[in-house]
Structure 1
Amino acid sequence: MYSIRRRASFSPVRLVLLAPASAPVGGRAAAGGFAAATARTRPAMGPTISSRTAKPWALCLGALLGSVGAHAAPPKPAGCLIEPDQVADVGSAVTGIIEKLNVALGERVEAGQSVVVLRADVERANANAATLRTQMDAEVKAAAANLELARQKVVRTQQLVAKDFVSQQALDQANAEMEVAVQKHTLARSQQRIYGQEQAMAQAQLGLRTLRSPINGIVVERYSNVGERVEDRPVLRVANIDPLRVSLMVPITQYGQVNLGDRLAIHPELPGIGTVSATVQYVDKVVDAASNTFRVRLSLPNPDHRLPAGLRCKADWPVAAATAPAPARPTPSSLAPAPVARPSPKAVAQATPPVHMPSPTASGATWLKMSTALARVPAASRASGRHLAAAKASQPISLKFSIALADAR
């Protein structure tokens, strides 16, 4: 059995292993047999040191383990997923036949780059006709010439009226003809603008036959080939992997421990890739009631496309935000036991109660009573007379017992 023996109110706790002998040892006194049996049956639990050397070790281990147990352990790394920052399915707004595919799988594309061309013979012809109409300015020039002639006629009529060669009616007629010429010129210019709008519409219809990438990225999927009909399904998928997006679900108990702009260490589950750093860009303001978690999204730079998307990873939670400040490290001087005043032999003899050693085959309760009695015996008394053998047997203690004692405290 194991018992904890306290020497005095001012002395540290000391662990002593007391066990009955497995077999009686003949020819020895009770105290000697108990000491020999204790020394022989003590289990081997690692290297042992003397009691004087073990006291500082026990105090150091107790202080360290006590300080560790007083603070909460840092949170475990949270599971996360590395995803593309953006994913776009490239489709067509009109029905058509694929005439040409300009990119292949895995090829990098830029925003606005042509990736697919549909057959557009009719649309191209309409665009050419609209362009020609916009270039026809004969009507505008004819209307401008008629307007200039009408203005000159009005001027001459005004001169003739001033000399009384023609009547006022001739002047009114000239003014009316000039007004008609102005309206025709305005109509011709308006028609020219209409032709320009028709050209723009024809070009837009022609542009619908060319599919362009909406983002910068890499072609990751191709759903159709040349000659296939395109209706309401996408043709290509483009993913932007620079930067990457890291998504993780965090328990509600850690809410408020991370803020926008914080940097977290990310460990991708990919051989040959070390720890990378990501920046917090979004913290969910709505908690998922079913799982009692909230979402955190981070941005992970990937300029050389070294990391592929779709990896699982681990995110180290900020230790400073999750644990309390570390306590001050104890100094050797503070861990050293205080000097103990040795009582005189006379005082020890007066204060020492009689202790009777039980037989090796006694019950566990009897040995417990004996250990309790030994806990009240001062050290000077145990070192003399009938307690000398017990004191010698209890001197070597195991370092692991000191650790167990610190854990129990």
Structure 2
Amino acid sequence: MPCDRHPPRPALLLGLSLWLLLPACASALTLGCLITPARVAEIGTPVAGVVERMLVDRGDSVRQGQPLAVLHAAGERASVRTAEARARAQAAVSAAQATLSLARQKTQRAESLHAEQFISDIALDQARTELTVAAQSLKQAEDQRAIYQAESAQALAQLHQRALRSPFDGVVVDRMAQPGERVELLPLLRVADVARLRVEVVVPASQFGQVRAGARHPVKADVPGVAAREATVTQVDQVIDAASNTFRVRLAMDNADRAVPAGARCQVDLGLATVAGSAGSAGTKTP
């Protein structure tokens, strides 16, 4: 209902005086806001290299774990093949096992012959020593095979570092590298999660304590054809910025249908009220 502070035209002095004493009408306080992606990741590489292929471009939708770019990895692929061949090798272990089996049989025969006093103590000690050495040789061969398996895993991990993957479902919002470029410290791509959005609002300090976490409020993007939808308050700053005399509020908005564009300015009604003509009322402000 519109706020009308004018007295009826057939005004009497008494009626005018009573009207002037009435409190000013309250109106809804609509605040400017900014819609941002819930997550933004700059995709870089943990190792220096030359870009071999860029598999996505700006605007492409990507899934978590999807390859985005590949660096040259000829050396790493060769290392993987070599390490896997060593890890699969069984010759050294098989030979050590055969030697140990033979040494065990010789020791058993030596002990039987020594019990019947057909061989000396020195011959028996020699057979037992050969058994111990054979057992140690088998252990050494098995340890070496374990080292080769670890080297194979390491070589495979280094190869995987040459393929950059998306950390979550989202959209490629920027591409900063091309095939043939050497990359090391700077990111190659920027990916944003637009299925979940954040709404950042700057609220006048006079409204502190009026916004509650968990409350739902309508948010309207300043984009033609985009309908308003509700967002949930997830964070209310507990510190007021002294310079602007404001505090920040963050809301979470579900955008699984991707109908609301990230980066758009918006208007939000937090259910606050401002008194018309009152001192200290703040206008809308976009963060």
Q: How many angstroms apart in 2 are the aligned matches of 1:238 and 1:195?
A: 38
Q: Name the CA shift for 1:151/1:97 in 2 (closer, same or farther; >3 Å).
A: same
Deviation at 1:267, TM superposition (A): 1.8
- The aligned amino acid for 1:77 is T
Describe the superposition over 1:352-393 as per-residue Cα deviations: whole angstroms up to 9, x where unpaired: xxxxxxxxxxxxxxxxxxxxxxxxxxxxxxxxxxxxxxxxxx
Question: What is the TM-score of this pair, normalised by structure 2?
Answer: 0.86
- The aligned amino acid for 1:208 is Q
CA contact (8 A) 1:71 1:323 kept: no
Structure 1 unaligned runs (5+)? 1-46, 325-409
Q: Name the CA shift for 1:77/1:176 in 2 (closer, same or farther; >3 Å).
A: same
Q: How many angstroms apart in 1 are the aligned matches of 2:187 and 2:53?
A: 15
Give the superposed CA RMSD: 2.6
Is residue 2:120 matched to residue 1:179?
no
Given the alignment, which residue of 255, 260, 266 partners 1:313? 266
Describe the superposition over 1:149-169 as per-residue Cα deviations: whole angstroms up to 9, x where unpaired: 111111111111111111222
Q: Which residue of 2 aligns with 1:73?
A: 26
Given the alignment, which residue of 221, 225, 235 partners 1:268? 221
Given the alignment, which residue of 210, 215, 224 partners 2:177? 224
Q: How many angstroms apart in 2 are the aligned matches of 1:240 and 1:159?
A: 77
SS at match of 1:317: strand
Which structure has greater helix proportion? 1
Given the alignment, which residue of 146, 151, 154 partners 1:201? 154
Q: Name the CA shift for 1:162/1:48 in 2 (closer, same or farther; >3 Å).
A: closer
Deviation at 1:135, TM superposition (A): 0.9
Deviation at 1:300, TM superposition (A): 0.8
- The aligned amino acid for 2:146 is R
Deviation at 1:220, TM superposition (A): 0.9
Which structure has greater strand proportion? 2
Deviation at 1:277, TM superposition (A): 0.5
Is residue 2:184 matched to residue 1:234?
no
Q: Which residue of 2 aligns with 1:126?
A: 79
Q: Which residue of 2 aligns with 1:98?
A: 51
Deviation at 1:323, TM superposition (A): 8.2
Matches of residues 154-169 of structure 1 in structure 2 within 5 Å?
A: 154-169=107-122
Q: Which residue of 1 aligns with 2:254?
A: 301
Q: Which residue of 2 aligns with 1:258?
A: 211
CA contact (8 A) 1:83 1:311 kept: yes
Deviation at 1:62, TM superposition (A): 8.9
- The aligned amino acid for 1:117 is V
Number of residue equivalences = 269
Q: How many angstroms apart in 1 are the aligned matches of 2:152 and 2:111?
A: 45
Q: How many angstroms apart in 2 are the aligned matches of 1:254 and 1:75?
A: 12
CA contact (8 A) 2:29 2:274 kept: no
Q: Name the CA shift for 1:289/1:175 in 2 (closer, same or farther; >3 Å).
A: farther
Structure 2 unaligned runs (5+)? 1-7, 276-287
Is residue 2:163 matched to residue 1:210?
yes
CA contact (8 A) 2:220 2:228 kept: yes
Q: How many angstroms apart in 2 are the aligned matches of 1:205 and 1:273?
A: 46
Deviation at 1:275, TM superposition (A): 2.0
Larger Rg: 1
CA contact (8 A) 2:29 2:271 kept: no
Deviation at 1:243, TM superposition (A): 0.7
Q: Name the CA shift for 1:72/1:191 in 2 (closer, same or farther; >3 Å).
A: farther
Q: How many angstroms apart in 1 are the aligned matches of 2:242 and 2:234?
A: 22
Given the alignment, which residue of 221, 226, 230 partners 1:277? 230
Q: How many angstroms apart in 2 are the aligned matches of 1:140 and 1:97?
A: 40
Q: How many angstroms apart in 1 are the aligned matches of 2:25 and 2:139?
A: 85
Matches of residues 326-345 of structure 1 in structure 2 within 5 Å?
A: none
Describe the superposition over 1:240-299 as per-residue Cα deviations: whole angstroms up to 9, x where unpaired: 111111011212222221222111111211112232110011112333232222221111
Q: Which residue of 1 aligns with 2:37?
A: 84
Deviation at 1:195, TM superposition (A): 0.4
Q: How many angstroms apart in 2 are the aligned matches of 1:288 and 1:143?
A: 75
Is residue 2:57 matched to residue 1:114?
no
Question: What is the TM-score of this pair, normalised by structure 1?
Answer: 0.61
- The aligned amino acid for 1:155 is Q
Describe the superposition over 1:99-145 as per-residue Cα deviations: whole angstroms up to 9, x where unpaired: 11111221111121101011111111111111111111100111111
Q: How many angstroms apart in 1 are the aligned matches of 2:146 and 2:270?
A: 64
